[in-house]
Structure 1
Amino acid sequence: MDAPLYLRPRVDPPLADLLEDRSFLHSLVDALGSPLNVLLPEAVAGNVARFRAVYDRHRLTGRVYFAHKANGSSALVRRLAAGDPAAVGVDVASTEELRHALGSGFTGDRIMATGPKDPEFLWLAARVGATVNLDSPGELEQLAALVRAHGLGRVDVLVRLSGFESAPGHGGAGTRLLSRRSRFGTPVREARDLLTALERASDAVALTGAAYHLDTTGVEEKARALELCVLFLDDCRARGLAPRAVDIGGGFGVGYVRDAAEWERWTTALSEAVLGTRPPLTWRGHAYGLRNEGGTVRGAAALYPAHRPDAGPGYLDELLSLPAPALGRPPATLLLDHLHDLHIEPGRSLLDQCGMSLARVLDVRRVDADSGQYLVRLGMNAGDMSLEEHGVLVDPVLLPRAETDRGETDRDETNRGDRNRGDRGHGEPRSRGGTPAGVYLAGNLCLEGDLITRRLVHLPRLPRTGDLLAFANTAGYAMDFHAHRAQRQPLARTVAVQQAGGSWRWCPDEDYWPITPLGGTPA
């Protein structure tokens, strides 16, 4: 039998500490049902501090705007609202997100309105003094008309740019910069017309900067786009405008899988399975976008790079340090020389290690008599925990139900490791009381396609009815981005937890306020 293909999660404190308190987690699910989302609001404050440390290292000013669409939690938004107003804001992409941010304690001057906008969204953003990140000249005209019609004050705006294949007027003829096409933003080649429109609307809007958000992990491509935004702002100043910021969006990434070797081993095995040189790794031979053409693997795997050694703040630091192609200076230096603020809009990376999704094991049965594989049905569906919908492959952590099972998987499943070695999150899995088992994880909907993950997941032992599977690090996009009430299945409840005095306390997500310790009185 082939060795198990683990993709064990990267789990750091305090999330690792929470995973160790299995009786507490089981008691939560017993009381509130499966599935259940568990959030750590204090962890998001720690992630803000790590991003701000990168700002300080490069001597930059500007705001970290949380991309609200990544999670609908009240606890997380309220905890961020309690942070330094000059350092932390929120990026909202709908009227309801804007209302939620305001109700959670954010003032309008700390809010960035992004995404496609209807008139109601534009009016409310203008009314409360939010900065509007304009996606097109049409949005600019619509916003200006609303400001004039309702007698509102001038609205601070950024213009979102795209199409960074070339920089008209800079870099020389024939210079071509590769950039993935996007349906968002105004192409750079149309920047001159955009500037004319901004001048016409100067009674209604005030240009404060340029923005971009590229759907790529390529740091060189993002550095080129940042450089072109700086050059665009030079053109703006030459025409009498006074911009002062560059907003580079999000996309800083998260490292989900802790071991690079495990990720490489699994992706190599996927290619071998597609070629037919090893048994399938997935339900019904699903290949994640790869195909076998005459003995050669073709296509691109639709997978998130789950092991990323430089993600989140580390990725931002790399981007700011990389020399830009035309001007030859690092982006941080360009921003400092031009006295520009830097704004970022992290979602997934700001929620790294901020929560997990729990699901109870409802049923375990063999897939067939010969394969040695099992189908595990969970008390959740694919919409409740949608890591795979975003191409993220990572193992859940098995939390046995019975106290007598603790010795079988013990603390190795939480990946704490030997802290005397400073080895945070690198313990080896063992199966002292069981044998590693390959399982497919199925959801609770009456649909063939309701699979929590389409790959064969290896666990230290076969789960039993009543056990829990904990999907770590689901706060970013996986908890509620695709949640639905199909077949009248209930949506997952969400709780906020906090460690105090060696034990864990919890409250419903909507009842969390940062001024009130859980189970205590207002500070």
Structure 2
Amino acid sequence: MIDRRGRYFVKDAPLYLRPRIDPPLASLLEDAPFLHSLADALGSPLNVLLPEVVAGNAERFRSVYRRHHLAGRVYFAHKANRSSALVRRLAACDPAAVGVDVASLEELRHALGCGFTGDRVMATGPKDAEFLWLAARVGATVNLDSLTELDQLAGLVRKYRLARTDVLVRLSGFESDTGPGGAGTRLLSRRSRFGTPAAEADGLWRALERHADSVELVGLAYHLDTTGLEEKGRALERCVLLMDECRARGLAPRAVDIGGGFGVGYVEDAGEWQRWTTALSEAVLGIRPPLTWRGHGYGLRNEAGTVRGTAALYPAHRPTAGPDYLDALLSRSAPVLGRPPATLLLEHLHDLFIEPGRALVDQCGLSLARVLEVRPAGDAPDRYLVRLGMNAGDVSLEEHGVLVDPVLLPRGDPGHGPTDDAPVGVHLVGNLCLEADLITRRLVFLPRLPRPGDLLAFVNTAGYVMDFHAHHAQHQPSARTVAVTRDDGAGGPWRWCPDENYWPLTHPQGVPS
């Protein structure tokens, strides 16, 4: 075909970004009648969770600890999902191995109500007085973001005669030398508005000594907004060295908390991800038709024939993610001491704390949306608008830069119409009367044109995508959430219950196991 400037294009082959689907999520998707029955009964949109998967993910992280002979605890970053079922299932795990990281007063109350005891809770994030008081009252470990929080916590402990509270202090702004013997290029980790710069650690140590009657330092923490193994390795090594400084002052920290950021691989095929991102750059340059609604560039722009900017996209294909990423981090030699972080932790008898969110709920759920309307897009004869029974706030793929195709679940016999068996490009739009209500800005390719009544299943949405940005505009229904289980392992029928009714020791029907 020929564009408006007279340039010739070969008709594009479908640019798929098909999801990675592991068991048992794959088995659930194969049971389309069951998923249709759920959506028929509970409406669209609908979130479906697999609580047993989160326990399996926690065990995979724990296996990395055992491989490196490390002690410590895996804390689930609760902000990744509001579910009760997931938190209750984790509460039933080994108390010494699994905890929960709460970033608000309501998350703390929810975790306690789901079965976690205070000693298994890590309180992180910005904290007000109420959050600090309850955390100290129940015996949670408080991960302090600043000197101000430390002073406020110590004051509350004294005022209300609470027990001495375990604390970690969060650091940022790590520096290290890369040359032999630490005499090379000076590197600084990226700036963060959270944590105390490592260069100001002396002030922290003095404050901890001043508040020794109210708080006990149990470790140092960091959480870097990066996927770079080298940068995280430098921070971990620096924390180990700073803990030596603490011990020299009479403090007794015993753990390093390295936060989260272990990642998830959403797209199965690396080649599909590479082809799509390459095509995006070509579309921005105008050497191929647009891949997105109104030519949106996801942060890329055309400046005089050159692509500028940075794509604001999550790296959807990640060959090393989750527990494998943790293993790689612990195995990589640190820049100054020249030994792997796992070795450094063992030599110093330090525990390791981690706070995975997205990675701990990997493959734990999906979001269903009913197809309401299908019509030509108007800008091209072979593109369509597909309106769904959800809006962008119900499945915040765009907000988090996650690009992955949904799975089409036809209702009944898909039929054999003229477009039924041919791949087709569609724009997925939401149920709000807002131009910006796009489920995804990119053109999505499906194996055939969907029809009203079909379902689209957005796979692997339990980490941040499912309910991180839900809202109630226009009185549209918000997604309900259900937990699904199987009675006899992989071979039994699927059963469901409302998320809030799931308990680890009870079948969905409420009959004790």
Tell me the TM-score normalised to structure 2 length. Answer: 0.95
Name 1:64's counterpart in structure 2: 74
Change in CA separation of 1:142 and 1:407 when aligned onto 2, cut-off 3 Å: farther
Q: CA deviation at 1:58?
A: 0.3
Give, as a single letter, the amino acid of the residue that structure 2 aligns with 1:361: V
Are residue 298 (structure 1) and residue 308 (structure 2) matched? yes
Change in CA separation of 1:265 and 1:377 when aligned onto 2, cut-off 3 Å: same
CA contact (8 A) 2:176 2:336 kept: no
Change in CA separation of 1:95 and 1:204 when aligned onto 2, cut-off 3 Å: same
2:414 maps to which of 396, 405, 416 = 405
Aligned positions of 1:255-270 closer than 5 A:
255-270=265-280
Give the count of matched residue pairs. 498
Distance 1:45 1:62 in 2: 17
Q: CA deviation at 1:521?
A: 2.0
Name 2:367's counterpart in structure 1: 357
Distance 1:315 1:370 in 2: 42
Name 1:375's counterpart in structure 2: 385
Q: Cα deviation per residue 1:357-390 (whole Å; 9 max; x = unaligned)?
A: 0000000010116431000000000010012210
Are residue 325 (structure 1) and residue 321 (structure 2) matched? no
Q: CA deviation at 1:175?
A: 5.0
Q: CA deviation at 1:491?
A: 1.1
Distance 1:225 1:514 in 2: 37
Distance 1:176 1:86 in 2: 39
2:208 maps to which of 198, 205, 222 = 198
Same amino acid, percent of matched pairs: 78
Distance 1:455 1:312 in 2: 27
CA contact (8 A) 1:366 1:374 kept: yes
Distance 1:209 1:80 in 2: 23
Change in CA separation of 1:123 and 1:274 when aligned onto 2, cut-off 3 Å: same
Give, as a single letter, the amino acid of the residue that structure 2 aligns with 1:486: A
Are residue 519 (structure 1) and residue 509 (structure 2) matched? yes
Q: CA deviation at 1:449?
A: 0.2
Distance 1:173 1:220 in 2: 17
Distance 1:224 1:181 in 2: 15
Distance 1:366 1:433 in 2: 15
Distance 2:444 2:188 in 1: 38
Name 1:413's counterpart in structure 2: none
Distance 1:137 1:433 in 2: 62
Aligned positions of 1:10-29 closer than 5 A:
10-29=20-39
Moved segments of 4+, more than 6 Å? none
Name 2:55's counterpart in structure 1: 45
Aligned positions of 1:54-93 closer than 5 A:
54-93=64-103
Q: CA deviation at 1:178?
A: 3.2
Are residue 161 (structure 1) and residue 171 (structure 2) matched? yes
Name 1:455's counterpart in structure 2: 442
Change in CA separation of 1:77 and 1:406 when aligned onto 2, cut-off 3 Å: farther
2:358 maps to which of 348, 352, 357 = 348
Are residue 493 (structure 1) and residue 476 (structure 2) matched? no
Q: CA deviation at 1:232?
A: 0.7
Q: Cα deviation per residue 1:295-338 (whole Å; 9 max; x = unaligned)?
A: 11111000000000110000000000000000000000000000
Aligned CA-pair RMSD: 1.6
Are residue 278 (structure 1) and residue 268 (structure 2) matched? no
CA contact (8 A) 1:131 1:155 kept: yes
2:118 maps to which of 103, 108, 112 = 108
Distance 2:161 2:238 in 1: 35
Aligned positions of 1:164-183 closer than 5 A:
164-166=174-176, 175-183=185-193
SS at match of 2:175: coil
CA contact (8 A) 1:400 1:406 kept: no
Q: CA deviation at 1:487?
A: 1.1
Distance 2:477 2:181 in 1: 56
Name 1:505's counterpart in structure 2: 495
SS at match of 2:188: coil
Q: CA deviation at 1:488?
A: 1.2
Give, as a single letter, the amino acid of the residue that structure 1 aligns with 2:494: W
Name 1:471's counterpart in structure 2: 458
Q: CA deviation at 1:165?
A: 2.8
SS at match of 2:134: helix
* Stretches of structure 1 lacking an aligned partner (at least 5 in a row): 409-430
Name 2:234's counterpart in structure 1: 224
Give, as a single letter, the amino acid of the residue that structure 1 aligns with 2:414: D
Distance 2:245 2:186 in 1: 20
Distance 1:432 1:296 in 2: 38
SS at match of 1:194: helix
* Stretches of structure 2 lacking an aligned partner (at least 5 in a row): 1-10
SS at match of 2:288: coil
Give, as a single letter, the amino acid of the residue that structure 2 aligns with 1:76: L
